[in-house]
Structure 1
Amino acid sequence: MLARTLHLNLFVWTAAVAAAGCDPSDSSGQSPPPKSPGPALAAPEGGGQLCGDDITLDLRRSLVLSEFTVVEPFTFTRVMSQILATSPAPAVTPTQLYQRWWDYFNAKPGVHPDAFHCDDELVDGSPAMGAFPHACPRPEGRLADTDPFSDPQNNFDGYIPLGVFNRFDLAPLDGSNCGEYRIVFAKQSGLFDTNDRNLIIFEATLPNPNPSCGIEGCRPIAQFWADLSEIDDITEIRDRVEDFYFVDAAGAGPVVHADNYGTKGGQIRTNMFMNGPNAWQLRQFEFVHDCGGSACIRPVLLKDNPFPELFQDDSPWLGAEAFQEWFVRQVPNLEKAGSNLFFTTDVGTFASGASNSEGEFDNYRIQSGISGSFRSKIQDAITLPGLTADQIINRALALSCAGCHEHNNFGDNLDFGDGLPWEPSLGFVHISEEFTAEGPFGTRFPLSDAVRFVFLPHRGEVLQNFLAETACEPCTDKGVKQFGPPDPSKFLPDGFDSVEGMTIGGPRSGH
């Protein structure tokens, strides 16, 4: 038996662990009543908020749940098994899928010669991903010869669930999906060894159950999460959330579905700290149905993470000049007033394959030096009085994995200008397996100050505003056929005038 239990008894992993989601009973997915000439006098069908009602959210019930009682039914085995069960790919076991995934961090032929490997691509003779080099091999490659599903209670290589996150705020305003719903796991060894940590975040994109209504078709999903704030029985909350993730998410099907981790959006991300050069590293993957005979989880470029050396005034990389021109065009976007609202557009081929939270390589401001023509062009593009090139670059850094998770915790990196607030992570992570906290429903895993005081209040306000608006003018199939889809522009935050590329929470970002 493992020695240290963090008061969990290993989360009482003697239970046959299941997975967490939401019960569609509160949000049936049926169409709400048609619009009336005046304000709606009744809640949408299936219950929910009345037009004109105030709604009060408990952010730790409706946006994130990390209580042991809630996460206990989530197991790594169940998530991986259900992903495979919902894929038409030829049969492969969870162990095979996992081992080939992590064999990517070995140089070929690795442990599994038919898997992807980190030196499959070369740039100037060095292992690369996309257009830029990366570290290869990595310590995580040893996981290609482990089995996290065997005896999970006593297995250092097994994974424990830390929390589930509602990211309805990431639903695009065009209604093409209803946001992301996340599950965070941590390698069990991290409870005992700070140099053997690995966190995996399954970030599923959920389909719109009523796409003819545009973004307003997502109302049953938003209402489901809001309803959790009114439930005082943590066991009932757990049961509802479990159904949401594994059975049916308010008419959208289960969150945990193979298509939701790559085919139709979504991704799987990792935060890795397994003791090696540039040890703290973040990566991104997607599930693919057919990688040449079987399903696989393959690496993809990181969103919102330009390759750091492109910020150098005399960058040696082909395309650096085009990148810097692109970045200068982002200055108006990075000037936006709000720590949840500044953004950049898609970084495209300038994206990196990895983000390092250790050392200064991924610190864009340091890479840009203290002077030079690039920084001068940034400064010249600034229109907000008092804002500096350093502050603009710090904002771009906060959108990156390394910045959001570590670099923006300290010193000069914290300065965004214009009085914008920022709070630190828990040192590389935003939810930690290393210690626990007490809450109204018992022991839970703690969240970073950045999540608690910067991200969650914004996400809560987004959810409240959306429900208030859609309660007064519910969308119906009949209404759509007669008048066309509802206008999503009413959900735009202040300072924005186009719905293109926007989410219900504002600009799409990697947070």
Structure 2
Amino acid sequence: MPVACSDAGPADGAPAEVLEGDVAEAALELALPFDIDPRKSLIVTETDVVSAFTLEDVLQQLIDQAGASVTATPLTVFRQLMNNQRPGASDPNNIGPNCDDEPPNAGDLEPVDDPPPGLPPFPPEEKNQTGSINDWPIFCPRTADDIDSDPFADPESDSAYMATTLANRFDLAPPDGAHCGEYRVVFAKRSGITNGLNRNFIIFEARLPNPNPSQGRLGCQAVVDFWLNQSDPAKSPATRAAELHDFYFDGLSGFEPVIHIDHYGPEGGQIRTNEFVRPNGLPLTSWSLRQFEIAHAGPTGGWLLIAPSFVTDNPAGKLFTNASGDPRVTGFQGTFFPSVVERLAATDDINRFAYGAAVPSEYEAGESLMIPLHNNYLNKLTTAPTAFRNGIQAELTAMGSSLTPEQLVGRAQSLACAGCHEPVNVDNEFFKTKLDENGQPVPDFDDPESPLDVGLPSNPLRTLGFTHTSEQTEAVDETTTRQRFRISKMLTDVFLPFRQQVMEDFLLNHPILGFEKPGVWTSTQAQLSVHTGRVVEGISSLEVLTPGSFHAVVSPNFSTAGLTIGNKITVDLFVSPAQPNPSWVGNVEVLISIPSAGINNQWAGNVPLTPITRGSFQRIQFASLATATKNALSATPRPTDVKLQFNFNVTSDSGPYYLDNVRFEN
């Protein structure tokens, strides 16, 4: 009987103990020239660095790229952007789209109640959504003095904008390296320094093309190296400011500049606003986040327009309701959302929450509202046993997930602009509650967690209050008087550590053995794809669907150069909890080939799958390699024709299984 069709005893291989963290960390420190400083290589807010960036320079660069015949100025482009917030009837300038160019559908409107007695009633434009984007309602107008202001006349005035943040989002680069991630600049209105009722942020979120997409993410190596080198302790703030300015405005060798008219939509990238703007401290019913794209006619076309767009990954709130007769609701609840339940539920890392597929454009809202409840998905989801709710539960049950429909929808809410910037519960509460001395529930301002339950051991941390970056500053450290703009605890404690790990894994780990590049591992029996939810290291693992009983999963040839070579092949393996035959799952074996050393399909161990803990990654170690095989792997020069083959002998349709982080360990 072939080895692949036989079970084996525990001596052949078994789940292994995890490496001590300090050993792994020590190896990492030896591999990098210096530690990655998250406040230099991932997010930059030091005032003496970001001050090298001005909104006027960014807009001028976009104008210059649109062609010499453009007569626009930074001021006219700024006013055109803000003019998107004005209704056509009150627009004397006619310089671009207005917020009521398309009226809303009456069935989509959600009027806002007046404030409690004693406060002035809201004006009509703050009670009803009178415009629409992408056939979904928006508030119109957004009354603000920005529409007619000149933010460039006095850089110290309340109307001026200041750069507060540069963000490295290489973590957004997809596994196939179609692009190199996003690189962002945040500008904040200076009025927000002293007036919490007059705040506005303009965020330029450029998607940087990969000049060599055939290389996958390796085509982005120079970009990652650039950001790594920002952590060089020998570099002064002035040097870093100059290098960052060049990266954004001129680009690295072989790369386009970050700030480029083609990097802000429609092929990727966007401009977003985070708005709480109302003159004279008047009441405001909504905190709105909106998205824009740059339209132009090419380098000789002579025109440039910043046009409103739907907000990506922000389904409209109505789609989670019981609204009948709306084909968008029917399609969303019956087809799209059930198809993404598995991906939303697949991870216990909030950084990896994702739909796994682009949200169809017809479902994307025209704005994302943190106030009022328009985009609070949990508030829209009924507790009644509807077909939508039952369908979510059926998908969760089929994959063996313990999440509830509310927790799953909470994850979708956390992906929306509003849900990320201010995670709230079904009642739009910003804080968890505690009991006061009278036994009554009151907000717990000291609890760092939000009340949004997404099915993790702890809830998401609170933000800075609708933002993750701030107009307020703090000392860079205790040894200097230098200042930097504040960032949220969610950034420092959750988002930045993840982004740092993605960067380190890219710099240090093997793209083939880490399953970081789609399509390089092959199988004639199994269905293979990379998965970005269930992951141990890097940004993806290999998903293995097993329609039959035997499946060979084969690597391409790879080199062991730079790899630590031990005497056992080790891999992190995820066995799905929902098994058609729980009493016998099967086994997996590994074969190794090094033709240059005369080694071909040499058996290297077998591990039974039935005793392995299901529903999480387990470290699996196979039998010891033959001495000659280990010597061949570490020979000088290192071999370049190594190939691994994992054979799954399992119950049909017992997957998916996930493989990640193959290595050679003792």
1:71 aligns with 2:50: yes
**CA distance, structure 2, for counterparts of residue 223 and residue 380 of structure 1:** 45
Q: How do 1:133-212 residues align onto structure 2 when only pairs under 5 Å count?
A: 133-140=137-144, 142-153=145-156, 155-212=157-214
Give the letter aligned to residue 484 of structure 2.
R
Question: Could you tell me how far 1:505 is from its partner in structure 2?
Answer: 4.1
Q: 2:405 aligns to what?
A: 389
Change (3 A) 1:108 1:78: same
Q: How do 1:275-294 residues align onto structure 2 when only pairs under 5 Å count?
A: 275=278, 277-290=284-297, 294=303
Of the candidates 309, 333, 339, which is equivalent to residue 343 of structure 2? Answer: 333
Q: 2:330 aligns to what?
A: 321
Q: Does 1 or 2 have the higher relative contact order (CA < 8 Å, sep 6+)?
A: 1
Change (3 A) 1:114 1:72: closer
Question: Could you tell me how far 1:91 is from its partner in structure 2?
Answer: 2.6
Whichever of the two has the greater Rg, that structure is 2
Of the candidates 503, 518, 525, which is equivalent to residue 463 of structure 1? Answer: 503
Q: 1:342 aligns to what?
A: 353
- Structure 2: stretches of 5+ with no match in the other structure: 1-26, 107-129, 425-429, 433-449, 522-526, 542-666
Give the letter aligned to residue 219 of structure 1.
Q
Question: Could you tell me how far 1:346 is from its partner in structure 2?
Answer: 1.8
Q: 1:482 aligns to what?
A: none
Question: Could you tell me how far 1:144 is from its partner in structure 2?
Answer: 2.2
Task: Judge conservation of contact 1:394–1:413 (CA < 8 Å) in 2.
Answer: no
1:416 aligns with 2:479: no
Question: Could you tell me how far 1:437 is from its partner in structure 2?
Answer: 4.2
Task: Judge conservation of contact 1:111–1:145 (CA < 8 Å) in 2.
Answer: no
Higher mean displacement: 157-166 or 417-426: 417-426
Of the candidates 124, 138, 142, which is equivalent to residue 105 of structure 2? Answer: 124
Question: Could you tell me how far 1:435 is from its partner in structure 2?
Answer: 4.3
Give the letter aligned to residue 360 of structure 1.
L
Question: Could you tell me how far 1:251 is from its partner in structure 2?
Answer: 3.0
Higher mean displacement: 69-78 or 316-325: 316-325
Change (3 A) 1:90 1:263: farther
Of the candidates 315, 321, 325, which is equivalent to residue 312 of structure 1? Answer: 321
TM-score (norm 1): 0.79
Change (3 A) 1:50 1:380: closer
Give the letter aligned to residue 137 of structure 1.
P
Q: 1:356 aligns to what?
A: 369
Task: Indicate the SS of the match to 1:309.
Answer: helix
- Structure 1: stretches of 5+ with no match in the other structure: 1-48, 474-485
**CA distance, structure 2, for counterparts of residue 62 and residue 489 of structure 1:** 30
Question: Could you tell me how far 1:127 is from its partner in structure 2?
Answer: 2.2
TM-score (norm 2): 0.62
Q: Is the helix fraction higher in 1 or 2?
A: 1
Task: Indicate the SS of the match to 1:117.
Answer: coil
Of the candidates 390, 393, 406, which is equivalent to residue 376 of structure 1? Answer: 390
Task: Judge conservation of contact 1:83–1:256 (CA < 8 Å) in 2.
Answer: yes
Task: Judge conservation of contact 1:311–1:368 (CA < 8 Å) in 2.
Answer: yes
1:273 aligns with 2:313: no
Of the candidates 410, 413, 429, which is equivalent to residue 467 of structure 2? Answer: 429
**CA distance, structure 1, for counterparts of residue 99 and residue 132 of structure 2:** 7
Change (3 A) 1:434 1:490: farther
Of the candidates 436, 443, 447, which is equivalent to residue 483 of structure 2? Answer: 443
Task: Indicate the SS of the match to 2:80.
Answer: helix
Change (3 A) 1:449 1:214: same
Task: Indicate the SS of the match to 1:203.
Answer: strand
Task: Indicate the SS of the match to 2:88.
Answer: coil
Task: Judge conservation of contact 2:518–2:529 (CA < 8 Å) in 1.
Answer: no
Give the letter aligned to residue 56 of structure 2.
T
Deviation readout 1:290-313 (Å, 9 max, x if unpaired): 499721111111011111011112
Question: Could you tell me how far 1:497 is from its partner in structure 2?
Answer: 5.6
Q: Is the strand fraction higher in 1 or 2?
A: 2
**CA distance, structure 2, for counterparts of residue 421 and residue 207 of structure 1:** 35
Change (3 A) 1:393 1:264: closer
**CA distance, structure 1, for counterparts of residue 373 and residue 423 of structure 2:** 8
Question: Could you tell me how far 1:221 is from its partner in structure 2?
Answer: 0.5
**CA distance, structure 2, for counterparts of residue 500 and residue 290 of structure 1:** 38
Identity of aligned residues (%): 36
